[in-house]
Amino acid sequence: MRRYTLNVMAVLTLENVSRQSAGTWALWDVCLEIELGEILGVLGRSGSGKTTLARILAGLLKPSSGSIKFGNPDDVRPVAVALSNPACAPELTVYENLDMFASVCGIPGRRRTKEIPAMLQRMQLSDQRAIPAGMLSGGALARMEIARGLMIESPVLVIDSLLDRLEPAIFEAVWDYILDLKRSMGRSFVILTGSGKVAETCGRMAVISRGRIAFVGRSEDFRRLAGEDMIVLGEMENPITRNRIEEHLSVVIREEDGYLSFRVAHGERVIGELLSEFGNEISCVYLKRPTLEDALEALAQGGGHIAAGTGQKKVN
């Protein structure tokens, strides 16, 4: 199998890409850079522009303005795609669908005979290989579409919202294979998702909102948009302990839903300090962190966007 190498780090660059459809801007001024061997998660709600972005990346739609540049213009298929609404032949079996697709993509018969069973096993579809695609569950159909995308030799694979539909055990197996392809072949992946858990698994993430890229950076930085960490305290034998904690950490402890809690920027570090100083006086303590979905909600309510890599909200 081919290993992808480049003289430049960016395997794919979008510069000010916009897409208008029926008088509506589905994408607006999108700038993104995907590096060689990178897994980039693109998090967004339904209707945010994820599928339009996936289709433009795959060359299925042309941008109304802007440009897309490839690190190696000589690649025959610079981008492969696994779409959220896969097109398949419902009357053909899972194996026949993969075989037909691979044949159309120019994969030789001997190689197909070897690779399709291996791919079915990786996707945990071996026991459904003879089932017509039209009879598959949504999760199994998603796995078949991912398998089709993975079979194409291309430096970049775009997976549109399909990993969201996988059960945890199957997700782990598929993710391990993606990591193996990243390490062994230098393949890059763009994972479009509505799931914070999926986005958090990626090495770097972007957030798309209302057709715009609202944030690019670490998931930890984006999560801070939803507020600080919450530390919840158990019962305290000595009422004075509460006052001492407030004074020591310069916080205000509040009672919410029957629990004592306070908010801080770096919860894990503060818990360590808390246990070191007051561990014998507190029955229990745990950390509640904002989720990426919480941050998406805060972004939607705020109506602004986040400066790339900073987590700071811009006011338009």
CA distances from 152 to 10, 40, 49, 194, 264 (A): 20, 19, 25, 25, 47
> Phi and psi dihedrals of 70, rounded to 5?
-105, 145
Domain extents in the chain: 10-222, 228-288
The pTM score is 0.84
Do residues 63 and 56 lie in contact, with contact meaning Cβ atoms separated by under 8 Å?
yes
Q: What is the CATH number of domain 10-222?
A: 3.40.50.300
CA distances from 164 to 84, 224, 286, 289 (A): 10, 23, 28, 21
How many CA atoms, within 13 angstroms, populate the side-chain half-sphere of residue 194?
A: 14
Do residues 259 and 232 lie in contact, with contact meaning Cβ atoms separated by under 8 Å?
yes
How does pLDDT run across 17-75, given as a tens digit for each residue?
Answer: 999 988 899 999 999 999 999 999 999 999 999 999 999 998 899 999 999 998 876 66
**pLDDT beneath 50, residues of the chain:** 7, 307-316
Strand partners, 254: 261
- Smallest CA-to-CA distance from 94 within 132, 56, 57 is with 132
Question: What is the rounded distance in angstroms from the CA atom of residue 230 to the CA atom of residue 232?
Answer: 6
Residue at token pair 């158990």 = 234
CB atoms < 10 A from the CB of 152, how many? Answer: 17
pLDDT at residue 204 in the model:
94
Task: Concatenate the DSSP letters of all residues of 202-218 into one string.
Answer: SSEEEEEETTEEEEEE-
pLDDT at residue 6 in the model:
55
Task: Identify the CATH class of 228-288.
Answer: alpha beta
Strand partners, 18: 65
